Structure 1
């Protein structure tokens, strides 16, 4: 597999039966999912989605609006949807994965076998947080550290900050300006929604509202931890493997 929208495939075995496309949180990238190649089922191919403005696409302009991002993303992924696949998204990545699945369904394309969302309130649930994307640099970075996704030692490295700050701000603006379109068909695939019991951004009640986006099976799982509860969590990985098993059983 190759192309600007995907990182090199991270395959756990020689004969994958399912391709898992992974969408990272705001400011996140393929490194977040790299350990999964040894941790997810041997017949699942783990593929990280690379958005414009970061990693190999650092010279491109990052998207700040969902609709054009999804239009470009779906076109970029289509050549790689040549077999059974599933979507996983964490935080902002959850709504990107959801909107991509929705766009594919509207186009009559084969949709994902499953959608797994994590650490994100349902698309139609109101955002309780004030916007942060337009804060000054120091206040914005302090908020990133508070959320737990940006180590304090990284923030102290000014050269590093200049590198990642533009796409990090763009991701937060993308999240803050996102409004799901009303209408359109619901998804039919199973939707599995995960969150941490101490996540300040996604309470179990808010995450449970993902059940409204599909006519198929839905399950909510709550794990110990905060917004990044899934890091180094064997309990989470076991649950993820359980979600993916029905998607490629018998294939």
Structure 2
């Protein structure tokens, strides 16, 4: 697969299944780098790299869900060419649900499972403060409070000038996208940080989006527990996709 949209850090053509990984707002495929040597041999990891980050840094970031899904669906043949599953963290969880819904609508194969991490259910409107349109200084302050952007990046004017358009675009999707409620015929496993102040009570509403088994695993951490518990998360995924 030559598209910059999909990064396969360790090609595994003999794998039985692909796990497509969707990062959080402002995130790039590097957030999953620790998984590369820890995924089971039956899994080929594929990191989703949307415009505005990584090797696509010079491309304008997308600021609405419909265009994100349109780009992903352009590669529907690759997405569905062998059994697959989705993992998403925060905004990435909602993108994975939207993509699975679109595949279902087009009568195409759907993921064997969705792992939804640190995200409210996508059919629930956010009750939190709208971030993407804040004035520059307030936006930076909110990013600092979210604790997902490294301090050295926040303090670099040059880096932030590059990243602000991407971050505003991603947060616009996160702030505004509300999915049509559609129960998918596939299991959903939700990961949640017990101290996550960003995700509210809508975490439990994920069970309304599946006709199959629903599971919830809680970690003792905040919104970005995925960094602290990377080994535990990939271990659970390995077990469930074995």
Paired residue secondary structure (1:230):
helix
How far 1:115 sits from its partner (Å)?
A: 0.5
What's the CA shift for 1:187?
0.9
Shift of 1:138: 1.9
| TM-score normalised over the length of structure 1 | 0.90
Can you give the 5+ residue segments of structure 2 that lack an aligned partner in the other structure? none
Deviation of 1:12 after TM superposition, in Å, equals 7.7
Alpha-carbon shift at residue 132 of structure 1 (Å): 1.1
- Structure 1 distance, partners of 2:94, 2:67, is 14
TM-score normalised over the length of structure 2: 0.93
1:111-190 alignment runs, 5 A limit = 111-182=110-181, 186-190=183-187
The corresponding residue for 1:231 is: 227
Which residue in the other structure is 1:50 paired with? 49
Counterpart mapping for 1:63-102 below 5 A: 63-102=62-101
Change (3 A) 1:232 1:77: farther
Query: How many Å apart are 1:216 and its aligned residue?
Result: 0.9
Q: Could you tell which deviates more after superposition, 218-227 or 69-78?
A: 69-78
Q: In the aligned structure 2, how far is the partner of 1:197 from the partner of 1:121? A: 13
Distance in 2, matches of 1:69 and 1:225, equals 29
- How many residues of Structure 1 are paired with residues of Structure 2 in the alignment? 241
CA shift digits 1:155-201 (9 cap, x unpaired): 1111111111111110001111212125xx52111100111000111
Contact 2:125 2:178 in 1 (8 A): no
* Runs of 5+ unmatched residues, structure 1: 246-251
